[in-house]
Structure 1
Amino acid sequence: MKDIWNLQPETRIVVDANQYGQPIGKEASKLAEFLGTIARTGSICPLNTKHWKHLSKYVLENILRIVHEKFDLQGKVEDSDILSHVGNLRKEFKSTLKTRYYKEMVQEGRPIEEIYENNPPGVHDDQWKWLVERWGTPQAGAQSEKVKESRTKVRYAHTARNIGYATLNAQCAEKEGREPSRLEQFRFQHLRKDGSDKLNSEASEQVYDEACKMVKDSMPTLESSFAPQDNIVLENEIYTQVFDPDKNGKMLGYGRGMTKSRLFGYGSVTRGSQSTSAISTLIEKMSAKHVEQIQTIQAEQAVQEKTLLEEAESRFRTEAAERETHLIAEAEERFMKLTEIQEAKFMEMMDAREKKYKALINECMAKGMSK
């Protein structure tokens, strides 16, 4: 990160974003890492407040100023998303500090003064002391137990690593020429790290197979007549039935900052709020479209059959006429040849008779002269 912090003035890293304002591509990872350093720097992002929203306006504006000095977001990424991301990273950093520098010492029964002295590198003394005092309150303890319980409910650990859901989705969209469905997102976000086509856990495999079966069973017989967007809508609907509903307006599988209102449009009906009847309505529409397409195909086939029949009949008549003409010409030719043969034979016969008569006359004349 030093190279980013030490960038020359007026030099910024250009970060691309998708249509939802989420950073994507190689530079998105750099941005995420840079925001992490901000969240871990107490002089920029203080740790001694309970909630992110309690930070002063000056602190928030300063964070945005630093980010925009180092990165060109091209006006595609909202400042609120940047601050929200830093807030989440700040929360994660607090959790890491608590695990590494606080919990073990408390379990060992160390005195509070010794815990104060176990200040993590880079964390301001006053902020560390505030954190230690905060973690020791009953409210913080109850919150910690609640977080532990939530973590036990995570059944499908993703394998996106530091690439980010938004970048993975963008890569899939570029490859397929369309946005992936939520079911497709779940699959490539939970593939094994060894590069195989299998999912990373038996639970993931089972729930994915169940969802795929529901999609297949919900489709009419001829899937080939469906438009791709119809399949995507159906897969998204099935996804909300199989997996836990999206909570707090967040959309699972889309990455940080994605909300229902952003994905589907403000004021629109979201996927998570649609009931099973919506799926039935969707299937009915798709079935009606399927029937309409079959009727269109049948009408086209009837026209095509009629055209082929007319072409065959015309071809037959033409060939019959040509055959008849050929036979007549062939018969005439044979008749002429036969006539010529007969004439030749008749002439030969006449010549033979003439020769015979001449010979007879000559013989008679010869006999008469001899007497």
Structure 2
Amino acid sequence: MIGRTRTLKGVRFSSRGSSTGSNTLGSAATDSQSTGDETPTQSAEEVPATPAEATKGTKRKRGPTNMKYIWNLQPGTRIVVDANQYGQPIGKEASKLAEFLGTIARTGSICPLNTKHWKHLSKYVLENILRIVHEKFDLQGKVEDSDILSHVGKLWKEFKSTLKTRYYKEMIQEGRPIEEIYENNPPGVHDDQWKWLVERWGTPQAAAQSEKAKESRAKVRYAHTAGNIGYATLNAQFAEKEGREPSRLEQFRFQHLQKDGSDKLNSEAAEQVYDEACKMVKDSMPTPESSFAPQDNIVLENEIYTQVFGPDKNGKMLGYGRGMTKSRLFGYGSVTRGSQSTSAISTLIEEMSAKHVEQIQTIQAEQAVREKTLLEEAESRFRTEAAERETHLIAEAEERFMKLTEIREAKFMEMMDAHEKKYKALINECMAKGMSIEFQSSGLDDKAFSSDDDE
């Protein structure tokens, strides 16, 4: 009891009943199958060294944190956890919560290790994790259950990596038989789960995934020194001390300070890039005579930070703590996490709106001129084409008329020639027969001309 009091000094408690939170996955699992009440009993002294460490006489490292005093809290007693405006746990209680989540992630009866991905765990397992957390901690409805599960999943994945490094990788490099690796079961890990992990690590897919993770890890240039305090808590401490939220460049500085309390950063690379960013900020500052409000300085430092370190990837906002995304940060109505005042934001919005209106008017004017030009070009082209078509049609009509006239004249001349030949033939025939003029006249009236008229 004395040890618990010493360890939890300054931590607030509540005596209210446990709650499953506002966003649980379903009703909490409380049946006899639940193993969430089991308390990890392995202490730091009970953790044996790995076979390689025992052979080489290497000093044993401390074991995992067990948080017995939290597991053994009286029913109904919970640790009160504060959170910032983004739902991130802050303060001493946040560190205790993170360490307790680590014990959950390392307990195979709560978080089975024989699963490829965290998202493949059953709904029952996730509900049980949330039930345990809400029984021990009062999150006051500020911390989302999804953030809790995401953190446990991260720790669960890191625990697998630790097991692989300490109990599997070296034995594989030494060529130990698989049966001996099976027997090298880490303390606290179930035999069947350890065997599944060993078989999984030996597959080509796991080897490729491991190489990809090594490449990603090699790209990390600046290791932080926040430790178990967390970015969110450091940012809250800065805001409480300075009376304002830190810029992203200020976040980078106090998140990478040496642990000896000095003002130096923890690496030459971090020191160099920070000095370069500060120089860019100084060069970009306006003259002293001009008005430059503190919030403008923060905006400038944030812009320089983005230029130096590049844009944020995958929607994650570095320097703000676990779970912070662009949608969450911007969704709370603050572009620079509270660093700009309401008036400054309103001014910025008005300037952007005026610029937007001006751009729209310019585009509309250009569009009107372009439409007028296109209309005139289309009208001119239409008139030219219509005139050309009309000329062509007139010429074609005249040509057809001339051809038709020629054809009619030719037919008429042929008809006249035919009549003339017939008249001459009849006259010649009558004269040859010696007929009288009366007979010839009657014959012409009754015979010859009647046939011609009929034709």
TM-score normalised to structure 2 length? 0.59
Distance 1:238 1:349, change over 3 A: same
2:434 aligned counterpart, secondary structure: helix
Is the Cα–Cα contact under 8 Å of residues 16 and 23 in structure 1 kept in the other structure?
Answer: yes
The one-character-per-residue Cα deviations of 1:167-203 (angstroms, maximum 9, x if unpaired) are 0010001001011001000000111111111111111
Q: Quote how far apart the aligned CAs of 1:213 are.
A: 1.5
After TM superposition, give the deviation of residue 245 of structure 1 in Å: 2.8
For the structure 1 residues 291 and 238, does the alpha-carbon distance in structure 2 shift closer, same or farther, using more than 3 Å as the test? Answer: farther
Once the 2 structures are TM-superposed, how far is the Cα of residue 216 of structure 1 from its aligned partner? Answer: 1.8
**TM-aligned CA deviation for residue 33 of structure 1:** 0.4
CA contact (8 A) 1:226 1:286 kept: no
CA distance in 2, matches of 1:80, 1:346: 105
222-231 or 2-11, which deviates more: 222-231
CA distance in 2, matches of 1:356, 1:139: 112
4+ residue runs over 3 A deviation: 266-371
How big is each residue's C-alpha offset from its partner over 1:129-185, in whole Å with a ceiling of 9 and x where there is no partner?
111111111111011111111121111111111111110010001001011001000
1:159/1:189 contact within 8 Å kept = yes
Q: CA 1:155–1:367 in 2, change beyond 3 Å: closer, same or farther?
A: closer
Report the counterpart of residue 156 of structure 2 in structure 1.
Answer: 90
Distance 1:304 1:72, change over 3 A: farther
Q: Retained in 2: the 8 A contact 1:225–1:293?
A: no
Work out the CA distance in 1 between the residues paired with 2:427 and 2:211: 151
Q: Give the match's secondary structure for 2:424.
A: helix
Deviation at 1:265, TM superposition (A): 1.6
- The secondary structure found in structure 2 opposite 1:215 is helix
TM-aligned CA deviation for residue 269 of structure 1: 8.9
Structure with the larger helix share = 1
The alignment's C-alpha RMSD in Å is 25.8
Q: Partner of 2:247 in structure 1?
A: 181
SS at structure 2 position matched to 1:242? helix
Matches of 2:197 and 2:245, distance apart in 1: 43
After TM superposition, give the deviation of residue 218 of structure 1 in Å: 2.0
CA deviation string 1:248-269 (max 9, x = no partner): 2211111111111111128999
Query: Closer, same or farther in 2 for the Cα pair 1:363/1:49, shift >3 Å?
Result: closer
- Comparing 89-98 with 207-216, which one deviates more in the overlay? 207-216
Judge conservation of contact 1:172–1:180 (CA < 8 Å) in 2. yes
Distance 1:88 1:361, change over 3 A: closer
TM superposition shift of 1:225: 2.3
- Residue by residue, what CA displacement relative to the aligned partner does 1:292-315 show, whole Å, maximum 9, x if unpaired? 999999999999999999999999
1:244 shift after superposition: 3.8
In 2 relative to 1, CA 360–146 (structure 1 residues): closer, same or farther, beyond 3 Å?
A: closer
Give CA-to-partner distance per residue, 1:37-84, whole Å, 9 cap, x none.
Answer: 000000001111111100000000100000000000000100000000
CA contact (8 A) 1:234 1:279 kept: no
Q: Indicate whether 1:109 and 2:205 are aligned.
A: no
**Helix, strand or coil for the counterpart of 1:225?**
coil
Query: Counterparts of 2:175 and 2:234 in 1: how far apart (Å)?
Result: 46
Q: Shift of the alpha carbon at 1:112?
A: 1.0
Counterpart Cα distance in 2 of 1:314 and 1:160: 74
Residue deviations 1:6-49 (CA, integer Å, cap 9, x gap) = 11111000000011111000111100000000000000011111
Measure how far apart 1:227 and its partner are. 1.9
Q: Is the 8 Å Cα contact of residues 230 and 286 (structure 1) preserved in structure 2?
A: no
Deviation at 1:206, TM superposition (A): 0.9
> Could you say if the C-alpha distance between residues 316 and 134 of structure 1 is closer, same or farther in structure 2, counting changes exceeding 3 Å?
closer
Gap runs ≥5 in structure 1: none
Q: CA shift at 1:234, angstroms?
A: 1.6
Taking the aligned partners of 2:165 and 2:177, their CA distance within structure 1 comes to 17
Q: Unaligned 5+ residue runs, structure 2? A: 1-66, 436-453
Q: Is the 8 A contact 2:329 2:337 kept in 1?
A: no
2:425 alignment counterpart: 359
Following TM superposition, by how much is the alpha carbon of 1:321 offset from its aligned partner in structure 2, in angstroms? Answer: 99
Deviation at 1:219, TM superposition (A): 2.2
Larger Rg: 2
Separation of aligned partners in 1, 2:199 and 2:416? 147
Conserved 8 A contact 1:261-1:268: no
TM-score normalised to structure 1 length: 0.72
Name the % identity. Answer: 95
- Checking the alignment, whether the CA contact within 8 Å between 1:211 and 1:239 is kept in structure 2 is yes
